[in-house]
């Protein structure tokens, strides 16, 4: 089993669905947490952008990419979910097909990073309905973006370390 | 090859220290607020954990990538998280014993480093101020994790 690939897949799933990672979890009539690490990609005008959608902090309105923008839904949300699922499956396949899946995983994560870093600032009004340039984007990057970079590094290591069954 | 239980337990305990503040250990109605707290240090009623601290029942954390100072917090938290991850990865039934041994050694190194940091912290607080400082249950749990990792290496050597 490719453990680093598996970790990369889990990270993709976490970033695809969660708003934040809870820290200091306690059990008081349910599960709560004292603190959390936000997984926002970047923020602008009190709006936090995630892989799965946006949160308007001023109005407290949550919107998924499926409602907000279909292209962003395909490029961010769907790509990351597919990446997570195929990577977890591929990490258990000790064959060349497994290694190919690991390569596909890193390619998809790279596409997502390029989409956020280049395509969103170039066509921000059409894609996220807010004007944001390169400077605005790179000065407001959140933890989610750095988690994506870490995920890409893990995915690249996973290609090299993928075990192959010897007969 | 079976699952290495001691290594897995050590990893699981480290993950608990990295994410969980406390667990209720009594479900009886008569003993209210019976919570096993995983704080590592308690200084002036402020409880310090691997992820941050709790003061007046409000949690604070410095984990994040927003500034350079946060990297110190991330590094300390990663010492706990990686110990957990390595412990679980090294204990899986299919893992290579040579690699597992290396991971357990890394774990021991990480825990010794963590214990050194918190002990030094405690000594500085005690000798340089009038603050009251105590070790929490999390600190003693670190010793248990250390012992479990040492046992895991010994079991690996025997097998």
Check: CB of residue A80 under 8 Å from CB of residue A12.
yes
Residues of A in contact with B60 (CB under 8 A): 35
Count of A-B CB contacts under 8 Å: 57
pLDDT 10s digits, B16-75: 999 999 888 766 666 556 788 899 999 888 999 999 999 988 888 888 777 777 888 889
Task: Indicate the pLDDT class of residue A81, thresholds 50, 70 and 90.
Answer: very high
Q: Residue A76: name the closest of A53, A92, A94 by CA.
A: A53
Instruction: Say how many C-beta atoms besides its own lie within 10 A of residue A99's C-beta.
Output: 20
Percent of chain A at pLDDT exceeding 70: 99
Binding-face residues of A in 127-156 toward B, CB within 8 A? 141-143, 146
- Does residue A40 surpass a pLDDT of 80? yes
- Does residue A167 surpass a pLDDT of 90? no
Q: Which residue carries 């110990």 as its tokens? A: B83
Q: Residue A143: name the closest of A40, A16, A29 by CA.
A: A40
- Under an 8 A CB cutoff, do B51 and A36 touch? no
Terminal C-alpha separation, chain A = 16
DSSP notation for chain B? ----HHHHHHHHHHHHHHHEEEEE----SSSTT-EEE--SEEETTEEE-SS-EEETTEEE---SSSSTTHHHHHHHHHHHHHHHHHHHHHTSTTS-HHHHHHHHHHHHHHHHHHHHHHHHHHHHHHHHSS--EEE-HHHHHHHHHHHHHHHHHHHHHH-
- Under an 8 A CB cutoff, do A33 and B59 touch? yes
pLDDT 10s digits, A111-163: 999 999 998 888 888 877 788 888 888 888 988 999 999 999 999 999 998 88
Interface contact B89, partner A, CB < 8 A: yes
Interface contact A163, partner B, CB < 8 A: no
For chain B, which domains are there?
5-158 (1.20.140)
Q: Where are the domains of chain A?
A: 3-160
Question: Which one has a higher pLDDT value, B157 or B145?
Answer: B145
Which of A11, A31, A32, A35 to substitute to test the interface with B, most B CBs within 10 Å?
A: A35
Token output for B41: 């240090």
Average pLDDT rounded to a whole number, residues A4-30: 90
CA angle B1, B5, B11 (to 5 degrees): 115
- Does residue A67 surpass a pLDDT of 70? yes
CA dihedral (A17, A22, A25, A29) positive or negative: negative
Distance from CA of A43 to the nearest CA of B (A): 12
What is the predicted ipTM? 0.80
pLDDT 10s digits, B102-141: 999 999 999 999 999 999 988 888 888 767 888 999 999 9
Task: Indicate the pLDDT class of residue A88, thresholds 50, 70 and 90.
Answer: very high
Average pLDDT rounded to a whole number, residues A42-61: 88
Average pLDDT rounded to a whole number, residues A16-43: 88
Average pLDDT rounded to a whole number, residues B73-100: 89
pLDDT the model gives residue B92:
84
């Amino acid at each position: 089993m490719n453990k680093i690939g598996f970790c990369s897949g889990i990270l993709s799933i976490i970033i695809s669905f969660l708003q934040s990672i809870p820290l200091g979890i306690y059990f008081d009539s349910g599960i709560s947490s004292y603190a959390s690490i936000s997984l926002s990609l970047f923020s602008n005008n009190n709006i936090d952008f995630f892989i799965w959608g946006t949160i308007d902090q001023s109005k407290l309105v949550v919107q998924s990419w499926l409602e907000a923008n279909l292209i962003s839904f395909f490029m961010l949300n769907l790509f990351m979910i597919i990446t997570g699922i195929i990577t977890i499956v591929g990490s258990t396949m000790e064959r060349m097909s497994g290694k190919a899946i690991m390569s596909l995983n890193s390619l998809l994560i790279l596409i997502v990073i390029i989409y956020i870093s280049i395509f969103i600032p170039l066509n921000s009004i059409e894609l996220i309905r807010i004007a944001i340039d390169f400077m605005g984007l790179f000065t407001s990057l959140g933890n989610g973006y750095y988690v994506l970079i870490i995920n890409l590094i893990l995915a690249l290591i996973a290609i090299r370390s993928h075990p192959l069954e010897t007969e | 090859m079976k699952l290495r239980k001691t290594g897995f337990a050590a990893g699981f305990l480290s993950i608990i220290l990295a994410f969980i503040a406390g667990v209720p250990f009594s479900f009886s109605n008569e003993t209210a607020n019976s919570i096993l707290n995983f704080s590592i240090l308690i200084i002036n009623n402020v409880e310090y954990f691997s992820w941050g601290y709790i003061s007046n029942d409000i949690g604070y954390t410095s984990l994040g990538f927003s500034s350079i100072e946060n990297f110190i917090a991330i590094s300390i938290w990663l010492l706990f998280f990686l110990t957990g991850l390595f412990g679980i990865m090294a204990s899986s039934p299919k893992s290579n014993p040579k690699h597992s041994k290396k991971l357990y050694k890394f774990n021991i190194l990480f825990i010794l480093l963590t214990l050194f940091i918190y002990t030094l912290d405690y000594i500085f607080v005690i000798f340089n101020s009038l603050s009251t400082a105590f070790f929490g249950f999390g600190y003693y749990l670190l010793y248990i994790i250390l012992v479990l990792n040492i046992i895991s290496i010994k079991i690996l050597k025997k097998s």
